[in-house]
Structure 1
Amino acid sequence: MVNSQDIVSVEQRVWNAGNKYRGQFESGSIVTIWSEMIYLSAIRSEYAVLLEQPTLDLNMMIGQLHDLAQSNEIQAAVVSDFNESIRHALLPRTNEENRLQIFNDIREDGLTLIHEQCDRITLMKILQRMNIDYGPRMNGSSATPDRLNKLMASIALTKVRERGPITVYDPTAGTGGSLIAMRRMLGKSISVKLVGQELDPEAYLRCNMMLDLIDDDTTSHHLSNNDALSSDKGVKKLKADIILSDPPYSVNWNPEADLLKSIPYSEIGVLPPKSRADFAFVLNGLSHLKAEGTMVIQLPHGVLFRGAAEAKIRQYLIEQNYIDAVIGLPANLQYETSIPTMLLVLRRNRSRKDVLFIDASDEAERSRPRNNLPESAVNRIVATYQDFRDDNQYAHVAAQSEIISNDFNLNIPRYVDNFVPPEKVSIANLENHIASLNDEINVLDTKMRKIMAKYHAE
C-alpha cells in the first residue's frame, strides 16, 4: 500500500513546483513529465545519463532520447509523450530565454524526488493518482483505488494452490494496478506472468510503463492495446489462474452477429443487452479461466437483479455453479463514480453449491473526494470469505435452493438482513416522561404569567 506520508510529500512537491512557475508552465503536466522521467531513468541507464545533465538545447535532448528509444515501441511512445508534455507545459507567453531555465529547474526537482524515493513504483502510483484527481489526462476508469486492488487480489489468493508459475489476467487493465497488486502479494519466489488488455491508448502506455519496472527474473508481462470484448489478439489461447477485472460499468457494446452460436451464449440462449456490457465482461473472463482458477470482477449492483437477458445469464451462472461469492462494497470508493459497487467471485470446479453473500456497504471511512475502505474492512471481508460462514447482519451462505426460490435474483439485501430494529419503548415510561414535560410546561407558564402581569401593572 502507498504510505499516506509519501503521498502528502509528493503532492506538496508538485504544488510547490506549480506555484513557482504559475503563468509560465502548465502545472498539470508536471506529474506526467516526472512519471516519464522515472520510467526512462529506471528502464535504461543511457536515458538516466541524459536526464541527469542540465539541458542546453531541448530539441537536441529529445532527439537523443528518440535515437535511444527507436528500437522499442513502448519507450519510443514514452519519449514522444515526454516531448509533447514539455511543449504543452511551456506556455506560449513564456519567452525563449526562460524556457530552458524553467524546464531544467523542473527536471532537477523531479530528479531530487526520484533519488529520495527508492520505490519508483510507489512514486509513479502517487503521481498517477494525482493525474486522475487533479488534472486528468486519463479518465477515472483507467485506475482502481489501491485498497480495492488489494482486496480483489487477496480474495483470489485464498484459492491459489499452485506455487508457480502463475498467470494473472486483467482484460481491462487500465494503468495496471490490479496486476501490480497481485505481483506484490505473490512474492518474488513465485514465477508470474502478467497478461492484460487495455483499450485506451494513454492508459495502455501508462500500464506498460508500470509493468516494465517490475519485470525481473520471476516476472514477465504481455499487454495488448485492444478491446477485450471484440478482440482476442494476444490472449486467444490464454488460460489464467487468476483473473482480476474492474471493467467500465454498463457501457454499450456491439457483439458480432454469430456470437450467439458460440459457447457459452449458445447454451444460455441470449446475449447481454447492447446497452449494458457487464455480463459480457463476466462471460469473456470465464472463457479464459483455468479449471481451478478464480475470477474477481467489480460490477454495479444492477447485474444482481435486472431482468430479461441478464436474468437468464444469472440463472446460467448459478446452474453451472460458477458463482462463489457476492460482496457488496460501500459507495463512493471509485475515482469515476460515487455509486456503490460489488465484487462477483467466480470459480469453475467448485465442490460446494452454495453462495456466500457479504454486505460490507457500511464499512467505509468517510472522506473527500472519495471514501476509503480501511484495512480492517479488507481483512474482515477476506476472513469471512475464507471461512465461508454466516455472520449476523454481515454475511450469509445461501443454498442453491434458496437462490432458486428467489428466481435467481442475487440482490444482497434478499440474503443479508442488516436492518437494525429501533429500540423498544416502554409505554409506561413514555407516559411518565410526557407527564414530567407537562409539569415543566406548567411551571414555566406560571413564571411567564407573573412576568407579564408585572409589565402590565407598570
Structure 2
Amino acid sequence: MAENKDLLQVLWSGADVLRGKMDANEYKTYLLGLVFYKYLSDSYLAKVYDLLNDESPDDLREAQKQYEDVMKTDDAEDLLQELRTSMHYTLEPDMTYVSMLNMVNNNAFNREKLQAAFNRIQESDELFNGLFADVDLYSNRLGTGDQKQSATIAEVIRVLDGADLIHAKGDVLGNAYEYLIGQFASETGKKAGEFYTPHGPAQILCRIAMTGLEDKKGLQVYDPCMGSGSLMLSCRNYSSEPDYIKYYGQELMPSTYNLARMNMFLHGVLPENQHLRNGDTLDADWPTDEETEFDVVVMNPPYSAHWSAAEGFKQDERFMDYGGKLAPKSKADYAFLLHGFYHLKQNGTMAIVLPHGVLFRGAAEGCIRETLLKNGAIYAVIGLPSNMFYNTSIPTCIIVLKKHREGRDVLFIDASNLFEKEKKQNVMNEEHINKVLEFYSDRKTVEKQTYLASYEDIKANDFNLNIPRYVDTSEEEEEIDLKALTERIKETNQSIKECNETMISMLGDLTFNSSETEEAVKEFIKIFEEV
C-alpha cells in the first residue's frame, strides 16, 4: 500500500480529480461516498485478519490474501457468519477496496464491480439501505462513455489509497470527515445550508446544550433537522461518556440523510446508538414511540421556510398550547422551535439557531413568543455576527430554552462583534466562543455586552426580544468645545481670505492678447472679490 500521507491532504486531493468535471455540491457525494466505502472495506479486511490471527494487520494486502485463501476452504461459511454478526455486512474478496485498487493498477478496473460492492453492502442490513444511492457511477458528469467514467472513478480510488483509515487514532478519522464536509460547505456556498453549521455557532450551541450534562451516561441527543449530523456529533466533544450517547436525528434530503449516516459510522458510533430517519420533521411528528423526549435538543433549521400550517396542526400536541396560533405559512421558524421544544426533557436544554425576526415579529409569532415567555421557556438569546452561515448573510441568533425552571428572566448576549473576517465568511475563533460561554455562565449584566432582563422588563417591552432593546451598544458622541470650534472657523476664514487676496493679485498681473480673454478674467476676479 502506498506510504500513508497526511490524512486530510490525501482525502482532499481526491476532490482534485473531480473538481473540473462537476460542481462541489455534486463531487462531495462521490468523494465522501468513496471514502466511506474504503472505510467499510478496510475495516472488513482488518476484522477478517483479526478473526484469523487474533491481531490487527500491518498491511491490508496480506489480509486480502488470507481472505481469498480462506474463502476457498470449508471454513468460509463460519467466517462469513461471524462477519455478518459483527460487521452487519459481508463482501466477496473481489469486492474489497484492495481488490479494486489491484484492478486499477492493472488497468482492469470496471465500475460494475464497484457497483456490485455498493449493492452488497446496502442489501446486507437495514443500517446500510440506500446508503450509496447518490453515488452514480454511470453519470455523464464523470466523463463521456464507459471508459472515461470508469477512468475517473479509478483515479479517485488510486488517490485515496494513500489514506490509512484503519490505524487513525481516536477521532482522527471522524474529524477528517468533518473537515471534508466543512471544505465542501465553503465551496458550495448557499447549498451548504442544507448540511453544515459553521464551527463557531456549532460549538456555542453544543456547549450550552451540554452544560450540566457532561457526565451523564446514556445521554440522548436529538436534532430534527440534522443535516450531516455534525451538530449532534459535536456534543461528543463535551461528554465524559461519549461512547454511550444515543443520537436521534431526522433529515428531509435523502442525500444529506445518507451523509449523516456515514458521518456517524466514521465517528465510531455503534449501530445501536444511531436512530436516524429520512423524513419531513414538521409534516409528521417523530419520534412517537419509545423515546420521545431528549436530554439535549440542538437545531439549525432552514430559515423562514414554507410549510402547510394546515388547520389540523392546531390539534397537534407539538403546537396546540400556544393560544391557538400556528407559525405562518411563509415562516416556519416557530414551528421548528416548538417541535424541538416538545421533545425536550423536563430537565434538558435546547439550543436553536434562527433569524432575528423571530425575536420581534408580531401576529401569530408574537402570540407564540409571549406564551413561551410567560411559561419561562426562553432562557437566553444570543445575537451572532452577520455573514456566519453559508446560506445567508443576515445576522442570526441562538435561542436557549428550558422547561419548568425557576424564574422567567432572560439573558441577552450581543456577540455581533465577536468575529474575525475571512475571505468568504465571518468566523468566530476559540477566544470569541469562550467569551460567549463566559457571559452565558456568569448570567449577569455587562455594559454594552449582556443584559439579564426580568420578566417585568420583557413585559414592559410587549414581549419583544429584539436585542438592542436590552443591550445598548451605542457609543456616546464626543462633546464639542464650541469655543475651540469658533476659533478654528475664524482661522479657516482668515486663511481663505488671504488665499483669495493672493489669487486676485496674481490674476491682476496677467497680460492678455485679446479683449475677450481680459473681460473673462475680470469677471473671474469679481467672484473672489465678493467672497
The answer to whether the superposition gives a TM-score over 0.5 is yes
| 1:337 aligned to which of 383, 392, 396 | 392
C-alpha separation between the residues in 2 aligned to 1:235 and 1:212?
25
SS of equivalent to 2:119 = helix
| 1:35 aligned to which of 25, 32, 37 | 32
* Cα distance, 1:216 vs structure 2: 4.3
SS of equivalent to 2:134 = helix
The answer to whether the 8 A contact 1:247-1:281 is kept is: yes
- The structure-2 alpha-carbon separation of the partners of 1:112 and 1:248, relative to structure 1 and needing over 3 Å to count, comes to same
Residue equivalent to 1:230: 283
Q: Higher mean Cα deviation, 351-360 or 269-278?
A: 269-278
The answer to whether the 8 A contact 2:295-2:347 is kept is: yes
C-alpha separation between the residues in 2 aligned to 1:351 and 1:218?
38
Residue equivalent to 2:13: 13
* Cα distance, 1:240 vs structure 2: 0.6
- The aligned amino acid for 2:160 is G
Residue equivalent to 1:442: 497
| 2:155 aligned to which of 102, 105, 116 | 105
Residue equivalent to 2:143: 91
Q: Which has the larger radius of gyration?
A: 2
Deviation string for 1:43-74 (max 9, x for gaps)? 34344434443432221232234224321345
The answer to whether the 8 A contact 1:326-1:344 is kept is: yes
Matches within 5 A, 1:23-62: 25-26=21-22, 28=24, 29-45=26-42, 46=44, 47-55=96-104, 56=108, 57-62=110-115
Q: TM-score w.r.t. structure 1 length?
A: 0.87
The answer to whether the 8 A contact 2:444-2:452 is kept is: yes
Q: TM-score w.r.t. structure 2 length?
A: 0.76
Do structure 1's residue 260 and structure 2's residue 314 form an aligned pair?
A: yes
C-alpha separation between the residues in 1 aligned to 2:424 and 2:7?
15
Matches within 5 A, 1:246-325: 246-255=300-309, 257-263=311-317, 265-266=320-321, 268-325=323-380
Do structure 1's residue 205 and structure 2's residue 258 form an aligned pair?
A: yes
- The structure-2 alpha-carbon separation of the partners of 1:9 and 1:422, relative to structure 1 and needing over 3 Å to count, comes to farther
C-alpha separation between the residues in 1 aligned to 2:395 and 2:134?
35
Do structure 1's residue 129 and structure 2's residue 188 form an aligned pair?
A: no
- The aligned amino acid for 1:370 is Q
* Cα distance, 1:363 vs structure 2: 2.0
The answer to whether the 8 A contact 1:31-1:130 is kept is: no
Do structure 1's residue 120 and structure 2's residue 173 form an aligned pair?
A: yes
- The structure-2 alpha-carbon separation of the partners of 1:238 and 1:255, relative to structure 1 and needing over 3 Å to count, comes to same
> How many residues are paired up?
446
Q: Higher mean Cα deviation, 386-395 or 247-256?
A: 247-256
- The aligned amino acid for 2:216 is R
Residue equivalent to 2:442: 387
- The aligned amino acid for 1:231 is A
- The aligned amino acid for 1:105 is E
The answer to whether the 8 A contact 1:192-1:219 is kept is: no
Q: Higher mean Cα deviation, 436-445 or 401-410?
A: 436-445
C-alpha separation between the residues in 2 aligned to 1:39 and 1:9?
16
Do structure 1's residue 360 and structure 2's residue 415 form an aligned pair?
A: yes
Deviation string for 1:246-267 (max 9, x for gaps)? 1111222224544323545245
SS of equivalent to 1:128 = helix
* Cα distance, 1:287 vs structure 2: 1.3
- The aligned amino acid for 2:17 is A
SS of equivalent to 1:208 = helix
* Cα distance, 1:394 vs structure 2: 1.1
| 2:483 aligned to which of 406, 418, 428 | 428
- The aligned amino acid for 1:131 is F
Regions of 4+ moved over 6 Å: none
| 1:412 aligned to which of 460, 463, 467 | 467
* Cα distance, 1:434 vs structure 2: 1.6
- The structure-2 alpha-carbon separation of the partners of 1:66 and 1:191, relative to structure 1 and needing over 3 Å to count, comes to same
C-alpha separation between the residues in 2 aligned to 1:212 and 1:184?
16
Q: Higher mean Cα deviation, 419-428 or 249-258?
A: 249-258
Residue equivalent to 1:3: none
C-alpha separation between the residues in 1 aligned to 2:314 and 2:152?
58
Do structure 1's residue 185 and structure 2's residue 235 form an aligned pair?
A: no
C-alpha separation between the residues in 1 aligned to 2:483 and 2:272?
71
Residue equivalent to 1:166: 219
C-alpha separation between the residues in 1 aligned to 2:15 and 2:248?
35
